[in-house]
Structure 1
Amino acid sequence: KPTEMCAHPHVAVQDHVHYTVAFFILVIGTVGVTGNALVMYAFFSNKKLRTPPNFFIMNLAVSDFLMAITQSPIFFVNSLYKGWIFGETGCKMYAFCGALFGITSMINLLTISVDRYIVITKPLQAIRWTSKRRTCIYIALVWTYSLAWSLAPLLGWSSYIPEGLMTSCTWDYVTSTPANKSYTLMLCCFVFFIPLGIISYCYLCMFLAIRHASRDVEKLGSQVRKSTLIQQQSIKTEWKLAKIAFVVIIVFVLSWSPYACVTLIAWAGYGSILDPYSKTVPAVIAKASAIYNPFIYAIIHSKYRDTLAEKVPCLHFLAQAPRRDCMLVSQSESSFRDSVLSRQSSASKAKFHRVSSVSTTDTHVWSDVELDPIGHCLRSSYSLGALRDKEYNSLAKQLEEKGSQSQEQVR
């Protein structure tokens, strides 16, 4: 029972084990709070980062920050005292916060995957459905969904109790009662396995869409139009962001998988084989999930790095050097410009203007992501496109003047 477990918090474990756990929790808490705080600071200090896709990243940083700041200090103090010292109410609040912020992070990663799926495979629908207002609604739904699962043990469906070395708390997945077993099974399904299945489906579809688009461009060969080039480069940009999100998801799943395995072992009726160590180590690994995202998802992006290098004096080393991608884009644009300037007929001119208008539409469709590590290269590409138009118009005008002069001479 929760009361009995809180009244007898000490477990026959050597002191150095508690101190070792305390050390790792201290590191996890310090890195998690600092890293996610930097992400939030960069988001609020740079208006260019406040785009709808980045709101999901910001929400992920908030949930991870709250996870680290509410869990690590209490876990650390309890490890030093070698038992739970905050009473039954403190145990419930601690476990509630851990469940709320952990579930929010998982569902938020699901939302990011669906967002990437829509942008890459259904760009026209992304234009209609992507806005700051809709994004805020989706984020509110993520928190509401997480809150419902977190409140359930406080309302009688399962309960929150100390676990492992009795220095942290979670829902009661050990006691074999209908309420506990049903909650554990439903939680694992609707918070872990089903979201993981949806994420896998989204990434499979994205991979197939990218491969299909790449093959189409290869078939076009030298006949690739400006609009196709820009669309292909934009798809690659979106895919880079999706791949980084995929790394975050893999790390998150690996962090929580040991914990999920432990709970399912207990749910299956084999809880007696689980000792305090086998319950505490997965809990520590799960808490560490809050420290990876700032490094993988945000800080490695050029715009976040540049913002932090500019705003935080001790982080000047994050400023990036010019990227090779820009050179590649410039070279492709230069070769394309030469091919365009070789067109001299009025029919070609009209066709070029039609392609140019299509390109403007494509640019609008594909430029909704601010976390693009080579976004500045694409913007340079668009400016080169405008320069191309001017050069072509100037050449066409000269040809028309020469043609009119020759006609007058003939007359």
Structure 2
Amino acid sequence: MGNSVLEVNISRDYVYNSSAMIRRDFAFTAPVLALLIAVMVVLIGVIVLGNALVIFAFKMDRSLRRQSNYFLLNLAISDFLVGAFCIPVYLPYILTGKWMLGRGLCKLWLVMDYLLCTASVFNIVLISYDRFLSVTRAVSYRARQGMTRCALAKMATVWILAFLLYGPAILLWEQVTGESHVPDDECFAEFFYTWYFLLCASTLEFFFPLLSVAFFNLSIYRSIRDRRLRHRQEMGSPKFQAPAASTKRERLRLASYICHNSFLLKKKKPSEEADKSSELCSTEPVVGRNDSVAVRSSQCTRLIQDKKIAKSLAVIVCVFAVCWAPYTLLMIIRAACRGQCVSHHWYEVTFWLLWLNSAINPFLYPLCHSSFRRAFAKILCPKQRSTQAPSDHQSNTPR
């Protein structure tokens, strides 16, 4: 009994000493304080406006309401709430070093912050998995695009799992242990210095999602590489070296196809890789069957789209790792050494990287989709859209 009391007192001393160090670290000079306020206000504006635009576009444009875009909507909702609730509530705390909003709002803020950040990560995994299926199982994936109920079930699962990871621990840790280690003017989770819990939770929140997203990206890359190799082998096969289209209609289709794809590839892919794709596409139609031009055109277009998906997923892996790895590693180290070996300023920088990820996501995900870009253009430039429509109609009208 005496040993347990001694351990509790030592643990409590660690927490209160760490809190005193945090208060000293929070003493900002006036210029630094003004800079922090400006940066935080800008970050809040970018997160709220960027994700609100995604939500509004999804609501206004019915063409966006496909299964894959529902997951982007789910991500935008979690990131929007980060900017609309979590950061504004945290601002007075970081600027003054004291929590002045009461213990009840502290618990609510902790639950929401952990929930929203974790939901954002799980949504990224869900989006990556969805893109993995769209490339590796294209036929069955397209058949499920209209299944809205299935998409909503997956979205709800993300929120449930995100809450179960940290929510019960935040709400019940104090009741289970029988005491609280958090000072009255501080606000952090009771497990803040419990390294073994944080290690287990971080495995589910960061390490497993990172490995999953990396696996999906690698699988997509291998699928595209194998398809390109098979495609080149088929094009070099003697059975595909039949004479070119002999009839006038077939020659017109062939010429139209080559010109159209060459124009699109030069416009969208100015790199050397684009030239290779253009060359590949332009040689595809030289086959014997009448419908082979359309088939090869579809295959080539699909291959180019899948390559874009692979590149966007590679960016996702890098951004996710940069924003989450420093915080996760520093959180575990800080808990293991009871806050004595890591400066609070460094921990605070890595903490804000998580929220920075919520500002990057609306540009990283929806802007990679042409359908979302068109919807954004309609919302942000309605007059320009309306003036272009009559001119386009007149130009296409036969004289």
Same fold per TM (> 0.5)? yes
Q: Alignment length, in residue pairs?
A: 313
Structure 1 residues 247, 34: CA separation in 2 closer, same or farther (over 3 Å shift)?
A: same
Structure 1 residues 18, 280: CA separation in 2 closer, same or farther (over 3 Å shift)?
A: farther
Bigger drift between 295-304 and 307-316 goes to 307-316
Q: 1:26 aligns to what?
A: 41
Q: 1:89 aligns to what?
A: 104
CA shift for structure 1 position 174:
4.5
SS of 1:272's equivalent? coil
1:279 aligns with 2:293: no
Structure 2: runs of 5 or more not aligned = 1-11, 241-283, 285-291, 389-399
Q: 2:149 aligns to what?
A: 133
* CA deviation map 1:117-138 (0-9, x unaligned): 1221122342455522211111
Give the partner amino acid of 1:110.
V
Give the partner amino acid of 1:138.
K
Whether the 8 Å CA contact 1:35–1:295 is kept in 2: the answer is: yes
Whether the 8 Å CA contact 2:135–2:306 is kept in 1: the answer is: yes
SS of 2:24's equivalent? coil
1:310 aligns with 2:378: yes
1:107 aligns with 2:122: yes
Give the partner amino acid of 1:237.
Q
1:59 aligns with 2:74: yes
Structure 1 residues 105, 162: CA separation in 2 closer, same or farther (over 3 Å shift)?
A: farther
CA distance in 2, matches of 1:74, 1:144: 23
Structure 1 residues 134, 7: CA separation in 2 closer, same or farther (over 3 Å shift)?
A: same
1:204 aligns with 2:226: no
Q: 1:151 aligns to what?
A: 167
* CA deviation map 1:272-292 (0-9, x unaligned): 111221221111121111110
SS of 2:233's equivalent? helix
Give the partner amino acid of 1:121.
T
1:234 aligns with 2:298: no
CA distance in 1, matches of 2:297, 2:72: 28
Q: 1:44 aligns to what?
A: 59
Structure 1 residues 75, 265: CA separation in 2 closer, same or farther (over 3 Å shift)?
A: same
Paired residue for 1:11, among 2, 18, 24?
24
TM-score (norm 1): 0.67
* CA deviation map 1:39-68 (0-9, x unaligned): 111111111111101111111111110111
Structure 1 residues 21, 91: CA separation in 2 closer, same or farther (over 3 Å shift)?
A: farther
Structure 1 residues 93, 246: CA separation in 2 closer, same or farther (over 3 Å shift)?
A: farther
Structure 1 residues 174, 132: CA separation in 2 closer, same or farther (over 3 Å shift)?
A: closer
Aligned-pair Cα RMSD in Å: 3.4
Q: 1:116 aligns to what?
A: 131
1:77 aligns with 2:95: no
Percentage of identical aligned residues: 24
Give the partner amino acid of 2:361.
N
Give the partner amino acid of 1:184.
L
SS of 1:83's equivalent? coil
SS of 1:35's equivalent? helix
Give the partner amino acid of 1:105.
S
Structure 1: runs of 5 or more not aligned = 321-411
Whether the 8 Å CA contact 1:92–1:161 is kept in 2: the answer is: no
Structure 1 residues 282, 40: CA separation in 2 closer, same or farther (over 3 Å shift)?
A: same
Structure 1 residues 215, 7: CA separation in 2 closer, same or farther (over 3 Å shift)?
A: closer
SS of 1:258's equivalent? helix
Structure 1 residues 247, 30: CA separation in 2 closer, same or farther (over 3 Å shift)?
A: same
Q: 2:208 aligns to what?
A: 194
Bigger drift between 262-271 and 288-297 goes to 262-271
Whether the 8 Å CA contact 1:40–1:61 is kept in 2: the answer is: yes
Q: 1:248 aligns to what?
A: 316
1:289 aligns with 2:357: yes
CA shift for structure 1 position 214:
1.0
CA shift for structure 1 position 103:
0.5
SS of 1:89's equivalent? helix
Structure 1 residues 6, 313: CA separation in 2 closer, same or farther (over 3 Å shift)?
A: farther
